[in-house]
Amino acid sequence: MANRLEDEAVEFLSLFYEERCLDGKEARIRDVCEAIRTDGTYEHTAEELAFGARLAWRNSNRCIGRLFWERLTVIDEREARTEEAVAQALFRHIEYATNGGKIIPTITVFKQGASIRIWNAQLVRYAGYRGDGRIIGDPASLELTDICKQLGWVGAGGDFDVLPLVISVGARPPQLFPIPEHLIKEVALVHPDNEAFARLNLKWYAVPFISNMRLEIGGISYYAAPFNGWYMGTEIGARNLADDFRYNRLPEVAAVLGISMEREASLWRDQALVELNRAVLYSYQEQGVSIVDHHTAAKQFQRFIGNETEAGRGVTGDWTWLIPPMSPAQTDIFHQSFDNRIVSPNYFQEKPPYC
């Protein structure tokens, strides 16, 4: 009687052998089913792991950047067993993927199961502090910043203090690993036409490294599998710096650009939003850091749909996340609908190890 893990393993291995036109499928499936019966699990080969991680990206319904799904660099760190070894692997990932600004989409996969956990939501993220009546830094980081302080971390108390890595193995308490400063690339935000913008002293980190999602391949879960791509400008300019529950900087942007905030009907928010997003795209491009605007990203997503259709595969998507938070109706995505069925392999949101 085949169990659920066997079914998922057979389904993935069949896909792996068929899509890669490899032979030897029957023998591999027999070995895997034997391992599942004997040990309750099985190990992916390096090739199966790489293919699974790329497939998981291709199946990520909320991702607009999937055109490049085959170009993912997969680093196999399944031998790492200590907090120190995990931290060193993460430093290598940050340096390799940043690549001086010419960002390389990369994932590092640690051993299967939930014993190794990265407590950070993103490898590079700014701290958030509750001051007297106001919040300094990133409100999204308040909880993790408190945990870091409880573990002995002392932050500078500014708006852009990079948090240390927080790594746990098994039931041991988490350990802190400050990221060497030379590994962290940041972009100072300037405006293409108005030099007064620089007075806002805004900046953001170059590379988003998501470290809190669970990678599932053929029934096996990897709870520590951080991955990076490059940013779409609106993530920084229309959400991280604009949301009133994040950095909430639109009023200051309007003020420094001389945009009156007197009446909502003047659309001052929309005007300030466009200028902030122009500054983000201009600054990243000027400083040689990969980034994509939401119009180009939407066109690339349409090419992804074309490629998948040509390959005889359906595309699944989550419309509510695929449309950009700025001028969504100016993209073709807005005027289409998508099947939001969840297909595996995939990346899944995972609750944090704390709480």
Ligand X SMILES: N=C(Nc1cccc(CNC[C@@H]2CCCN2)c1)c1cccs1
Phi, psi of 293 (to 5 degrees): -80, 160
The tokens 């106001």 sit on which residue?
A: 134
Task: Check residue 146 and report its DSSP letter.
Answer: H
- Residue 334 site contact among ligand HEM, ligand X, none (CB < 5 to 8 Å, cut-off depends on kind): none
Residue 63 among the catalytic residues: yes
Task: Assess 224 for contact with ligand HEM (CB under 6 A).
Answer: no
CA pair distance 37, 5, nearest whole angstrom: 10
- Residue 208 site contact among ligand X, ligand HEM, none (CB < 5 to 8 Å, cut-off depends on kind): ligand X
Q: Which is nearer to ligand HEM, 242 or 257 (CB)?
A: 242
CA-to-CA separations, 30 to 11, 20, 151, 213, in angstroms, rounded? 13, 19, 47, 30
Position 262: which residue type?
E
Among positions 52, 65, 218, 317, the unique one binding ligand HEM when judged by CB under 6 A: 65
- Residue 64 site contact among ligand X, ligand HEM, none (CB < 5 to 8 Å, cut-off depends on kind): ligand HEM
CA pair distance 282, 120, nearest whole angstrom: 29
Task: Assess 96 for contact with ligand HEM (CB under 6 A).
Answer: no
Other CB atoms within 10 Å distance of the CB of residue 33? 18
Other CB atoms within 10 Å distance of the CB of residue 43? 13
Among positions 189, 292, 298, 323, the unique one binding ligand HEM when judged by CB under 6 A: 292
Task: Assess 74 for contact with ligand HEM (CB under 6 A).
Answer: no
Residue 355 among the catalytic residues: no
As given in the structure block, the two tokens for residue 261 are 């905030």
Residue 264 among the catalytic residues: no
Residue 230 among the catalytic residues: yes
Q: Which is nearer to ligand HEM, 51 or 230 (CB)?
A: 230
Position 240: which residue type?
N
Task: Give the residues lining the site for ligand HEM (CB under 6 A).
Answer: 57, 60, 62-65, 68, 72, 105, 107, 213, 227, 229-230, 232, 235, 292, 297, 321, 347, 349
